[in-house]
Copies of this chain bind each other. A is one copy, B any other.
Amino acid sequence: MAIRSARTGDGPERPGVLKIGEVSRLSGIGVEALRFYERNGLLDRPSRTGSGYRVYGPEVLDRLAFIKQAQVLGFSLDEIKKIIGDARAGRSPCDEVREIVRRRLEELDERVREMLSYRKDLAATLEEWDERGRAPGHICGLIEGAEIDHPMKQARRAQPKGKRLKNREA
């Protein structure tokens, strides 16, 4: 399970030529995920040994680092693919990428703002519970009552069809 210790080859052929498991170990990205990335155009199809094993050059690690970093920065795999694709097609992706990054920055700011606001609500909720949640006769001060008078009891009642909260978390 955990880091199956040192084993057979970490550079058996020429150094700098990697099999998928080695790439996985070095990048920390599972073998299946690597094939998944390849299927989905995030990694180029590597060359193969006579028997069909994938053979990677070391640059794949940079690509993977880029992918991971981009993910961490909030890009979806589709966006990452687009950036890579554009770059390789010669069409300078810079402006477009910058656009994406700028949008992402704004979204990020918005999210942080939302989160802080939710944080405030949460903390307020907690306090309210501390104050009135212990009154005898009701179980928790929520569910039974009007579930605390948070905003939103107004905010609802628009948008009849779903699709606004979805899985955008938070």
Binding site for B on A (CB under 8 A): 1-4, 24-30, 32-33, 62-66, 68-69, 71-74, 83-84, 87-88, 90, 92-94, 97-98, 101-102, 104-105, 108-109, 111-112, 115-116, 118-119, 121-123, 125-126, 129, 133-134, 139-148, 150, 152-153, 156-162, 164-165, 169-170
A74→B170 contact, CB < 8 A: yes
A135 to chain B, nearest CB (A): 11
Q: Is the CB of B121 within 8 A of A65?
A: no
Minimum Cβ distance to chain B for residue A169 (Å): 6
Chain B residues with CB below 8 A from A1, complex form: 161
Q: Which residue of B lies closest to A162 (CB)?
A: B30
Name the contact of A156 in the complex, choosing from B4, B68, B102, B125 (C-beta under 8 A).
B68
Q: Is the CB of B25 within 8 A of A87?
A: no
What residues on B are CB-neighbors of A121 within 8 Å?
69, 72-73
- The complex places the Cα of A47 from the Cα of B150 at a distance, in Å, of 28
Contacts of A29 in B (CB 8 A): 162
Q: How far is the CB of A102 from chain B (nearest CB, A)?
A: 7
Residues on the B chain within 8 Å of A116, using CB? 112
A30 in contact with B123 given A87-B143, A118-B74, A140-B97 (CB within 8 Å): no
